[in-house]
Structure 1
Amino acid sequence: MDLAFFTNFSASLTAQEAELNTLQEEISSGVAVQTPEQNPSAFETALIGNDQLSALNGDTTSLGDIQGQLGDVSNGYTSVLSEISDVQQLVLGALNGTTSNQNMQSLATQVSAAEQQMLGIANTTGSNGTFLFGGTRGTVQPFQEQPDGSVVYMGDGGQSQAEISSDLSASTIATGEAFISGLQGDGTASVTAASTNTGTGVLLSDGVGNPTAATAFQQGNEPITVSFTTSGTGGVIYTATQTSSAGVTTTLATGPATSGTSLTLGGVDFQLTGTPAAGDSFTISPSRPQSVFTLLSNITTTLQTAGSTPAAAAITRQNLNQDLSALDQYQQTVTTAQAQTGVTLQSLSKTSASNATQETEVQNNVDTTIGTNFPAALTALDQNTTAVEAAMKAFSTVQNLSLFSVI
């Protein structure tokens, strides 16, 4: 018997079975090119595409982490603005002129509670466990209350930039700047009434009248004193003076001190309300930064110590009006910080959407390059299966022939 028949049949059957296995693997995995030998060009294209997908997936993960962290920061700012708004309403209530001492104490309690709420917000941690407003010192509680009730910032002003894509970097942290950088008074000047005042005068800021002069005053260190004396006709006049660092005192303005009198001092427009008495005085100082905790503590103290006499009530109104202006400063500061965070989040969102589009395009290209053509593969599998079955049947038939058996 010629053994070549068996050898050739066996080799052919082995090759067909190998082809069947390959087709079955392609169909089950969805990948037609699994080794460089199958299609070198397609395999290399797929490798490059998969590297791109890995990079994009890494970017997406980083984006998600940063978006989550900055989203928490933005929510923190929203809570801060809510607390500021609540305190503004409490101060306005205290300024309505009909609040009793008992109500003042109640308002003081509410402002004190708001300060504690603010401290809690400032010490919020993100989903990764780090403090949101500590700068690069995210593992240290940024705002720590001292035995005397003051609050100290233990964070820093450091920034951390993460590369999100080839052309975009984003800050991954926030600092406590929004809680400590607000300015006293209207942001240019802060007015303090002398504790010995006996009149009912209140000196209110009406805004900046001369921006250049206001900037120079705010950046300087020379306060202005507005004092009141009796005029020769028995009325009350004011005199505004400023003493330089060299000790030279200059008279800036003088005139009748009546309710409604307008003054422009240090580039700021002021209006005098009420009736000041001879011997009263106000000090206009350049605005300096104060933490929001100091501001809220000052408001609490003012409400707690509010007097019942007309003169004491005027001093309370003076202090509360200054604090109300300072609250406005903080409202602007926090709103600006939140807007900056919002811009970053918007950029991250756009980048995330772009990455998703790129991932889809690259994945489609990889699938097209090495992916299984299911209709063709299923047809080939069916044909090869039929061929193998036919070959096996033919071989069996030949084996059973009596003549073939004898041979």
Structure 2
Amino acid sequence: MRISTQMLFQQGLNGMLEQQARSAKTLEQLATGQRVNRVSDDPAAAARIQELDRAVSQQTTFLDNIGRTRQRLSTEEGSLESAGTVIRRVRELAVQAASDTTGSEGRRLIAVELRQRAEELVDIGNSQSGEGEFIFAGAQSQTRPFVPDVGGIRYDGDSVRRGQVIGPGTTMAEGDTGDDLFMRIRNGDGVVAAGSVTGNTGTGVIRADGSDSGVYDGTNFTIRFTDPENYEIRNAANTVVDTGAYQPGGVVSHNGTQLVITGAPAAGDEFAVTPARYESAFATISNLADALEQSANSDVARTSQRQAIDDALAQLDRNETRLLEVRASVGARLNTLDNVQESQESLRFSLETLVSDVRDLNYPEAISRLQQELFTLQASQQAFTRIQGNSLFRFL
């Protein structure tokens, strides 16, 4: 086989170019700190890195959602605490108004504070998150949920509880809606509501207490006193369906309801029993203030006012119970977030470690390899120089 001068030159040049390419690749790895900088470096490793990067990105999204949910729930928890403080203060004022030592002027002053507390509760209901969203407006987070209206306070939010994905297949509600918290509180005992009928002349006051929703069939009925010591129960068709002897503070049971009457009803006095309906916390406070502003200069007026106070006290208890229930739910969700965050952070760390193992460069090995490659390149250059100097004319 004949070896030409051109072939010797080409082989020498190709050898040096290959060594330069290897050295350049190692230098790039040292500069980026990554073993795989392009797919051609290691196709299998590049595919694995892409898969792991997607998993890390997903975990980062989960952690971002957890942080956003925690911020909103923490804001809600603070608002619920403030709302509970308002409700408890309103209850204290109602108890104070019920005292016989509180005169008409004192009750009017209490009514003034009650209206101020109602405005404070509206402000709490319109609380905003750090991102400027109304936390009790449901999915209408850019809409102010509680707005004064002719009939009282209007709710302009919706009933959608927004959720955040905090893990694979795991969604958590990041808030609660204002209608569920403040607007949809059933009155009475939650099953039925009872009240005196206009025109009563006695001092009897009624309250529903412990009715059974599984037995009560949802129909209206009336308790009518035939005399101060006896009553009859009439259905919606005004037919007598039951009778009984009155005992002050005793329980009147009918159709699954539990009703307590106190005071001294007069003959002909009536008490209406109806299914419980929704009553907002704002309406409860407003109705109580209205009642306290009325003159109570007769037994009938004082009885009507006392009925309004008793109704408000029962409803305020239900409001506070609702707030405590939701606050407990918020606390449970915050605890769950802590546990999920710890799990997701651990998983993300494991994934990042895997990515590092596949992609990151082993610096000691790369430096040693670069030195070897540079030495080989230098040797190739020296050999090429010697080959370049070879010629037949040097031996003639």
2:103 aligns to what? 100
Compared CA separation, residues 386 and 103, structure 1 to 2 (3 A): farther
Are 2:44 and 1:47 equivalent residues in the alignment?
no
Distance apart, 1:191 and its partner CA? 3.0
SS state of the match for residue 110, structure 2?
A: helix
1:131 aligns to what? 134
Segments of structure 2 that go 5 or more residues without pairing to the other structure are 387-393
Deviations along 1:218-274, one digit per CA (max 9) or x if unpaired, are: x51313224262xxxxxx313132223x4423333234x5x4444334534444433
1:233 aligns to what? none
Are 2:287 and 1:285 equivalent residues in the alignment?
no
SS state of the match for residue 31, structure 1?
A: coil
> Does the 8 Å contact 1:228/1:281 carry over to 2?
no
Compared CA separation, residues 99 and 385, structure 1 to 2 (3 A): farther
SS state of the match for residue 147, structure 2?
A: strand
2:361 aligns to what? 372
> Does the 8 Å contact 1:242/1:249 carry over to 2?
yes
In the alignment, the residues of structure 2 paired with residue 317 and residue 40 of structure 1 have an alpha-carbon distance, to the nearest angstrom, of: 83
Compared CA separation, residues 65 and 141, structure 1 to 2 (3 A): same
Aligned residue runs from structure 1 range 113-124, under 5 A: 113-124=116-127
Compared CA separation, residues 126 and 318, structure 1 to 2 (3 A): same
Deviates more, 1:322-331 or 1:52-61: 52-61
In the alignment, the residues of structure 2 paired with residue 17 and residue 155 of structure 1 have an alpha-carbon distance, to the nearest angstrom, of: 68
Segments of structure 1 that go 5 or more residues without pairing to the other structure are 230-235, 399-405
Distance apart, 1:362 and its partner CA? 0.9
Deviates more, 1:152-161 or 1:41-50: 152-161
Aligned residue runs from structure 1 range 6-405, under 5 A: 18-146=21-149, 148-172=150-174, 174-175=176-177, 176-205=179-208, 207-208=209-210, 211=212, 215-217=214-216, 220-227=218-225, 229=227, 236-244=228-236, 246-255=237-246, 259-305=248-294, 307-381=296-370
The amino acid across from 2:156 in the alignment is M
Deviations along 1:68-122, one digit per CA (max 9) or x if unpaired, are: 3343333333332222122112112222322122221221112111111121222
> Does the 8 Å contact 1:185/1:323 carry over to 2?
no
Distance apart, 1:368 and its partner CA? 0.7
Deviations along 1:162-206, one digit per CA (max 9) or x if unpaired, are: 54433212335532222111111222333323454444433345x
Compared CA separation, residues 37 and 188, structure 1 to 2 (3 A): closer
1:401 aligns to what? none
In the alignment, the residues of structure 1 paired with residue 314 and residue 232 of structure 2 have an alpha-carbon distance, to the nearest angstrom, of: 22
Percent of aligned pairs with the same amino acid:
21
SS state of the match for residue 124, structure 1?
A: coil
TM-score by length of 1: 0.80
The amino acid across from 1:222 in the alignment is N
In the alignment, the residues of structure 2 paired with residue 309 and residue 123 of structure 1 have an alpha-carbon distance, to the nearest angstrom, of: 41
TM-score by length of 2: 0.82
Q: CA RMSD in A?
A: 3.5
